[in-house]
Every structure is written in C-alpha cells, then in structure tokens.
Amino acid sequence: MKLRKDVAEVSRHLHERGWVANHDGNVTVRDGARYLATPTATSKRLITDRSLIELDGKGQVVGAGRVFGEIKLHLTVFERRPDVSCVIHAHPPNATAIASSRTNPIERPFIAEAFVSLGPRIPKIAYAAPGDAAAAALAPWCELVDAALLGNHGVIAWGADPEQALLRLELVEHLAKIAIAALPLGGVEPLPEASIQPLLAARAKAGIGRAADRALATAAQLLGSSAPPLATLAPGKPVVACAPAPHASVATISPSGGSPPAQDLKTVIREEIVRSLTSK
C-alpha cells in the first residue's frame, strides 16, 4: 500500500510542479514480479493509490484498466536495470525546451553535486516514434545513466524508489532552468577539467545506483574525447560517498572554510568536491 501511495504522490507532484499537462507523463514501479503503473488518459492531478493499474512482468494489464502507450520505455529500463524500482516520465518545460531544441547545454552537468548525482552526461536521445523505436533508442543508455532527455518529447529518469527517481527528474529540470537562465550571460561554463577525475571517483564511490557503481568504467564512453586518463585516478583516495538522494547537501559549504578532519562520509565528499573545484 505504501508503494501505491508513493506513486500517487509522485504523480500529483508532477502536476503541481507544472511538469505535465493534459494526460502527459507516467510513473511505474516494480512490485515483485509485477508492476504498478499510472493509468492512461488520466491527469496526474487525479491519481490516487486506487487509480493505479497492475501489469505482469511483460507489461500486460492484470485486471482492469488500460496501460499508457509509453510503457515500453519503462519496461526497457526495468529489464536492463535490476537495481531500479521506479521510472518517471514527464514533460517539464525547461528540460523539454532543451529536448526540443538543437543544442543540449546540460549534456555535461556543470554543477559538482549534479555531476556526482547524475553522472558526467545527460544524453539527448534523438526523437524516435513512440513504441518500439523509442524503446530501442533508449535501450543503450539504460546501463550508463539515470536520466535522459527524449528528443522533441521530454525527460525520463529512474531510481531505486519513487523518491530517488523524482529527485533525478527534478535535478534535470533544475539544471535546464539554470542553463537557460545563463544563456543571456553567455551560457553555462563547463566544470574545470581538473575537477572531473575526483568527481568521477566520488560518483563511483557514492553508492547511488548501478550507473554510479560503473562510473569509472563508463566515463570514457560518456565523456567522449574529453575523458580523463583513468589510470591516473589515484588508488587509495579517501572514500567519498553521497547521500542516497541525488540532492546531497554539498552546495552549502564554503570553499574557504578550514574544516576539521572528516568525521563522516558527507563531510568527506564535501571536502573532496571543494578540493577538486579549488585546486588546479
């Protein structure tokens, strides 16, 4: 019952934030061998725990209700990510503006904690027709990232639970809003090259999902030609970690603060990120 309530709450939140309109958006969760899903043709404003439909392991409806047309996107993620229990798709305006434009200024997250939380790349997947083509376009990214822009469409994000998936989608939209706000100022500045390696190491140690676990192995693929030489990553670096939610409170520390020796993982990761950003 809690899972149903969580999905209903997330669905209504999508509407409250203005990230969906009409019948847009959908939320699914893995519930044992089955899935729970938001019903098709229903405003997310109206979703309650009783509205949800049940699907079997192949995405076929069990009992009453009709499934939404984008279910294959969700199933594609679930099939490839056994660590994922929730997938959320919505059309948040700023991220969807970028998804529908010719550029992707959030492709490389430009804020340290977003880099740790979402990884080195937020891909924009070229538009593909809904159904098998869209699912096939998403499939290669499922193991590599936890959120993606869908070209001329919206955002899809996934996580270990509804809260984590929602926070990832929120963070993509937040980055998009900032990137668009920065356009009159000349656009966002990429993170310093020297910061990439420690942030990748922080992400690899963060314990925030399979994509993070694989951060070092997949960095070259995700960063393309700007990939750091992974062999230079110092072995035995201090353990760095991140709160399970993507919004670890790393933004509030002062780079100039002389902090005491690390006593906990949050302190360690804050120091690690600050060090990486302030050292050349």
Stretch of 43-51, 122-130, 150-158, 266-274 lying at the interface with Zn ion (CB under 5 A): 150-158
The site map against Zn ion for 42-81 (x = CB under 5 A) is: ----------------------------------------
Quote the CA–CA distance of 166 and 172 in Å, as a whole number.
10
199 to 115, 147, 159, 222, 276: CA distances (angstroms): 7, 18, 20, 14, 8
- Is 65 exposed, middle or buried, given 0-12, 13-18 or 19+ CB atoms closer than 10 A? middle
**Which of 248, 257, 92 has the alpha carbon at shortest distance from 175?**
92
Give the residue with the Cβ less far from Zn ion, 89 or 205. Answer: 89
User: In the complex, what is the shortest distance from the CB of residue 24 to Zn ion, in angstroms, rounded to a whole number?
Assistant: 6
Q: In which element (H, E) is residue 87 found?
A: strand 86-90
Rounded to 10°, the helix 193-204/215-223 angle is 140
Site string for Zn ion, 99-138 (x = CB under 5 A): ----------------------------------------
**Angular region, 40: left φ>0, alpha ψ -120 to 50, beta rest:** beta
Closer to Zn ion by Cβ: residue 18 or 187: 18
Q: Of the ranges 99-107, 133-141, 152-160, 254-262, which one interacts with Zn ion (CB under 5 A)?
A: 152-160
Q: Which stretch binds Zn ion (CB under 5 A): 154-162, 173-181, 186-194, 206-214?
A: 154-162
* Closest distance of CB 20 from Zn ion, Å: 8
- Residue number, 154 or 198, with CB nearest to Zn ion: 154
Question: What does the binding site for Zn ion look like in residue numbers (CB under 5 A)?
Answer: 154
